[in-house]
Amino acid sequence: MDFDLLVVGSGLAGLYTALEFGDRGRVALVTKRGLTDGATALAQGGIAAVTSPDDDVNLHARDTIRAGDGLCHEDVVKTVVREGPRRVAELTQLGVEFTRGKGGGYDLGLEGGHSRRRILHAADLTGKAIEDALIGTLRRRANVEIFENRLALDLIVEGDDGRRCRGAYVLSADTGEITPFAARATVLAAGGAGKVYLITSNPDVCTGDGIAAAWRAGVAVANMEFFQFHPTCLFRPGAKTLPERSFLLSESLRGEGGILLNKDGERFMLNYHPKGGLAPRDVVARAIDEEMKKAGTDHVYLDVTSLGKEKLVKRFPYVYQKCGEYGIDLAVEPAPVAPSAHYCCGGVLTDIQGRTELPGLYAVGEVACTGLHGANRLASNSLLEAVVFAKRAADAAADEIKSVPEAGVAAAWGGDHGNEHEPVAISHDWYLVRRTMRDFVGIVRSDRRLEMAAERLAAIHRNVDKVLATARANYDLIELHNIVTVAQLIVSSAQDRAESRGLHYNLDHRARDDCCARDTILRPDKVSSLKHS
């Protein structure tokens, strides 16, 4: 198959890239499950953008930089917040209906780290509203072919000195066939990696596939140590399915007046930060972690009873309904909550156009490290980043391919073998990776914990490599390969940062060190400890 543009991923970043590429060539959009099975549809809070007279882009930039704890790239921040309102206007033109207030203007929400109300939302299912509108538009585009249930295994890289990405090898979940998708330009929009951790707010598809594929292709990654834990996911002891254990309670609940309580019913957040429950997420998550450890409990409480049932049903219909299904009436009782792995602030290193270090390859959305988030993502900046960089990458790719010949026929993927793997062993290693990350590389770390994690992950990676050398590729095996690779990148990055900053807190290096005010950049040819094949 030969295309002008290959887009890997069907979340906001991927959909918007394909739309913005327009009719400038043939587009293939590949997604590992269904179009709506990614994290975008689960985004409750909204998209941060300056649309109010009492707000301005300088304030938004300041809030973003402050949350990023010294590592945000100021030029990137200013570009994103400046272009954000235009992208929001385009979303409304595509049919996204953001919730309006009594006067007809946007009903803007407030979230942690923001100094103004600037969160546009569609009730509490903003991601789904955006996704539905984009999919409806994209399906009408004659030049776009959509391939569902297809997992991008590895990138097609041609040349030695003049290396270039020429597409990807794609595995069909339905047939098991591996097909080269050749393309003049490729955009990774494969989402995050929350499944690296045992408890996560992410859907099952978030296994770091894009990050791992880029790494195997020799592409640099950055700031992988900064993994954001959402402070308030519903705690469900004994729940049988992961989505129940990690259902997210939107940060907007705290923005509207919700308060955090410890096991004794005491408000505790003002003991940690002057903004209380509206402090940046890294502060809130660590505070909850500390309260749980002091009390010997595995949760705290989020109390939103002061909002009243009428407001909860109107403003947070989805959250109110889901909590009711779990036996919790938010209007009359507090909900038990605990932090859960939520967002990867690092990723594939890009420039301000979404270009990676490998010509022909772009990365947008959560898979990318653009310099916007620094050491900690400001709430609701992720959807904003996705649309701004999708537009930039689409334009840059359209311009680049003018001078790039058709990719032609690629060689068959060389990693497929005839033997069946042992499912029990794969399942066992899946659990070990995620348990290791939860226990040793969570909200609070130490040098010894990171060392133990590195040792355990290296052993698992060796086992996976042995299976890959003989077994037939399938989703479980490839996703295991990806999560152990991404887990090692997180650990290696954390070991390189001898300080505590943003989302990275190390008990052996508790202070922030200005000498470490730099991105943690890993390149495959420089990190021999991650090579196991």
158: its two tokens: 């041609």
What whole-number distance in Å separates Cα of residue 490 and Cα of residue 437?
9
DSSP secondary structure of 132-155: HHHHHHHTT-TTEEEE-SEEEEEE
CB 20 within 8 A of CB 387: no
What whole-number distance in Å separates Cα of residue 380 and Cα of residue 116?
13
CB 229 within 8 A of CB 292: no
What whole-number distance in Å separates Cα of residue 356 and Cα of residue 362?
5
CB 494 within 8 A of CB 504: yes
- Plot region of 273 (φ>0 → left; ψ -120 to 50 → alpha; else → beta): beta
| Structural element, H or E, at residue 188 | strand 178-188
> CB within 8 A of 241, min separation 6: which ones?
none
Longest dimension (CA), the chain: 67
| C-alpha closest to that of 38 among 367, 347, 442 | 367
What whole-number distance in Å separates Cα of residue 440 and Cα of residue 437?
5
Q: Is 281 a catalytic residue?
A: yes
DSSP 3-state of 269: helix
Annotated catalytic residue within 281, 286, 449, 501:
281
CB 9 within 8 A of CB 168: no
What whole-number distance in Å separates Cα of residue 79 and Cα of residue 60?
11
What whole-number distance in Å separates Cα of residue 443 and Cα of residue 519?
19
- Plot region of 362 (φ>0 → left; ψ -120 to 50 → alpha; else → beta): beta
> Residue by residue, what is the 3-state secondary structure of 270-320?
HHCCCCHHHCCHHHHHHHHHHHHHHHCCCCEEEECHHHHHHHHHHHCHHHH
Neighbours of 140 (CB within 10 A): 7
**Which position has the token pair 């569609």?**
122
CB 227 within 8 A of CB 344: yes
**Which position has the token pair 């290959």?**
6
What whole-number distance in Å separates Cα of residue 531 and Cα of residue 533?
6
CB 1 within 8 A of CB 180: yes
26: its two tokens: 């043939």
Catalytic residue ranges? 281
